Amino acid sequence: MVRSPKEVNKGAWSREEDDILSKYVVIHGEGKWQKVAQNAGLKRCGKSCRQRWLNYLKPGIKRGHISTDEEDMIIRLHRLLGNRWSLIAKRLPGRTDNEIKNYWNTNLSKKLQKQPTSSSSLPSPSSVSLRHNHGKCGHVAPEAPKPRRLKAVHQYKILEKNSGSEYDQGSDETSIADFFIDFDHQDQLMVGDDESNSKIPQMEDHKVSSTNSTHSSSSPSDHCHLLAEKFDPQEILLDVELKKMASFLGLEND
């Protein structure tokens, strides 16, 4: 019998698999997911292991019942950031991008669509539309520019070339939409991670220890601090833009 050398399980994870993965990661730590899958004896691809761990098994993950506070936060952040679920998730300790994404697609997008188009009708960076296949839930409109991860370093280099002048001259008039299309907030928002980033309000009611434990303060963070310094003028600008946007959206009180 000829069998493919790699037998890979698909579909729902069993409790046994969860146990194996949890124990392995607790002992050996995260990372090298391909090896995790191999060494732990899981017939799963590395990606699958990573996703399972990050979304369900990792300590500190909150599941179910998204509070109104959290919901409100998701809505606001989505207005600002679009479908940047990972970024949004960073603002909601214990929540995963996948969960927020699902929650948005199944609940919030519809809820917002039902709402009158007065205050909350500003097209978000990636405007909400009905899912096309079954008309089930909202997704990015086909014509909307796909949110793509851009390179912070790239932006930083551009800024450096222009001595930071590109964005502090006349950019006040830049439309919010253009701003989102031309300039990606994500990486700047990520700079300095949660603790140092206060451009967007963060849920205060929980401090999840795991977020601290995963925050390495070695060389990568040095790099981040460096970037944060380089980005300073822009961060100020970002703050201004966010305030403008908040004002535009009637969210000044944030």
Q: Using CB under 7 A, which residues numbered 210 to 239 contact DNA?
A: 220, 223
Binding mask 137-176 for DNA (x = CB under 7 A): --xx-----xxxxxxxxx----------------------
Residue 46 touches DNA, criterion: CB under 7 A: yes
- DSSP per-residue string spanning the chain: ----S-----SSPPHHHHHHHHHHHHHH-S--HHHHHHHTT--S-HHHHHHHIIIIISTT---S---HHHHHHHHHHHHHHSS-HHHHHHTSTT--HHHHHHHIIIIIHHHHHHS-SSTT-SPPSS-EEE-TTTS-SEEE-TTSPPP----HHHHHHHHHHTTT-TTTSSGGGS-HHHHHHHS--HHHHHTTHHHH--SS----S---HHHHHT---SHHHHHHHHHHHHHHHHHHHHHHHHHHHHHHHT-TT-
**Binding range to DNA, per CB under 7 A, among 19-27, 43-51, 197-205, 245-253:** 43-51
Residue 9 touches DNA, criterion: CB under 7 A: yes
Q: Which is nearer to DNA, 55 or 120 (CB)?
A: 55
Residue 101 touches DNA, criterion: CB under 7 A: yes
Q: Which is nearer to DNA, 222 or 239 (CB)?
A: 222
Report in angstroms how near the CB of residue 65 gets to DNA at its nearest: 8
Q: Which residues bind DNA (CB under 7 A)?
A: 9-13, 31-34, 44-48, 50-52, 54-56, 63-64, 83-87, 97-99, 101-103, 105-107, 110, 126, 131, 133-134, 136, 139-140, 146-154, 186, 220, 223
